[in-house]
Every structure is written in C-alpha cells, then in structure tokens.
C-alpha cells in the first residue's frame, strides 16, 4: 500500500518528482476536475508526503479529480470536454494556492458536459498537437497552433465535431512528437497504434476510426507513450 484509499476512491495520476532542487525550480502541480475547476500548487508542497497522504485539493460535492500534471513557468494548459470543447490558457492565469484550496474555474461547461482530459504545452514547444479519442473509437490529432491562448474560465472552442457516430470524447492529450497510443475498451479489448498512423485534421472535424468497437462496447481510456529523444 502506497496510500490509504477510502471506499470508491481511485488513483488519478502518478507523477515523478524531480530529485534535484534546480530541476524543480518554478515547478507547479496543476490539477483539473470533472466540473471544470483548475488549481495550481507549488510542487515543493508535495516533496514530503506522509504515509497517510496529503490533501491536494478540496473538491465540491459530486466533483472528482481527473488529472494532475507538472507545469513550469510559461507553459500552457489545455482542457478537453466530453462534448468536444477545449480551452487553452497560460498557467500564470491560475495563481498558486495552498494544498487545501478548492481552485478556480478553468472552463465554463455547457449543460451535461464535463472535462475528460487535460494536457500541458511546454513553453516554446513547436509542432505540438492535441489528440482526442471518442467512446466509439473515433479520434484525430490537431495542431495546437489552431488553438489560440485564451483567458481561463471561458467556454472554449470546438476541438471535435460530436455526432451520433462519434458519441462523446473520453479523453484528450497533448503530444509533442512520435510515440504510441494504447487504448482499452470497457470489455477489455486493447489496441496499440503509432501516433503517426492517426490522422492530423482540423478542429471542427469528427476524426477517423482509430479503434473498431464490437457491438455494445466502448472506449474506456487511453494512454500515450511518447518516443524517447
């Protein structure tokens, strides 16, 4: 046991903390919740973690943490919603808060929508793309140059055309180069495909079939393995 979990609680993210203090300078942890809240806390606040764990964020009733990622000064944060909206904003738009704070609004959600993924665009990154995947196995990559940097808290812009064929998005991830995608369905079907085999398309398209689903099945989640430089 690394951490004691309450009933119904599950792990959201596993991150590697830099050992060297110099590497951790200007490093913060950015968290995003299902209901569109974001929070930034200095990474140093998590350097010493008790056996019983530490409070990282105070959640509103019914909300849940969906991602936690490290950011450096000057990075951008991207949020993706189930109904195909996305928003890109500068990390400095979110002030640093203590561990027990609840955070601020990252994206304004429409009725019945929720945040399903987030990513970090490193400062000065070139050729970065946003990859999205739907519950029926449709997905695509889109150049992040198509996503202007906005202030946090807005409704965002369309990142995928949601249709009866695509259904809703299950996640989104920022990719910086080559690598692989591994996706798993709710009925344990798994695929592994190269990122270069997934089409690069504009924001308002519905994407192409990345994973063929059997009847009654749907994509549960996916993970990206970026190629080592």
Q: What is the pLDDT of residues 190-227, one digit of tens each?
A: 999 999 999 999 999 999 999 999 999 999 999 999 88
pLDDT score recorded for residue 22: 61
- The C-alpha atoms of residue 137 and residue 111 are separated, in whole angstroms, by 24
Q: State CA 78 to chain mean position distance.
A: 7
Q: What is the pLDDT of residue 49?
A: 76
Six-digit token pair at 10? 């599950």
Question: How distant, in Å, are the alpha carbons of 28, 43, 81 from that of 11?
Answer: 19, 18, 20
Residues of the chain with pLDDT under 70: 1, 21-24, 229
Task: Residue 170: name the closest of 209, 113, 219 by CA.
Answer: 219
Positive or negative, the Cα torsion across 76, 202, 185, 223?
Answer: negative
What pLDDT shows up at residue 118? 96
């Amino acid at each position: 046991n690394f951490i004691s979990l309450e009933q119904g609680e599950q792990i959201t993210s596993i991150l590697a903390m830099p050992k060297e203090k110099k590497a951790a300078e200007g490093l913060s942890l950015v968290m995003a919740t299902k209901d569109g809240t974001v929070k930034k806390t200095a990474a140093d606040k998590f350097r010493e973690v008790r056996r019983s764990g530490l409070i990282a964020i105070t959640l509103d009733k019914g909300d849940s943490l969906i991602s936690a990622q490290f950011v450096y000064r000057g990075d951008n944060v991207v949020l993706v919603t189930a109904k195909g909206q996305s928003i890109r904003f500068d990390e400095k738009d979110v002030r640093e808060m203590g561990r027990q704070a609840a955070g601020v609004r990252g994206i304004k959600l429409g009725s019945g929508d929720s945040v399903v993924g987030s990513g970090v665009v490193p400062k000065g990154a070139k050729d970065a793309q946003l990859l999205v995947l739907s519950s029926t196995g449709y997905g695509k990559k889109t150049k992040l140059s198509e996503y202007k940097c906005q202030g946090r808290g807005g409704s965002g812009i369309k990142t995928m055309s949601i249709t009866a064929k695509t259904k809703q998005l299950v996640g989104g991830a920022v990719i910086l180069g080559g690598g692989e995608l591994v996706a798993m369905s709710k009925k344990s079907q798994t695929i592994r495909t190269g990122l270069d085999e997934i089409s690069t398309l504009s924001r308002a398209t519905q994407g192409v079939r990345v994973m063929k689903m059997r009847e009654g099945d749907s994509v549960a989640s996916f993970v990206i393995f970026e190629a080592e430089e």
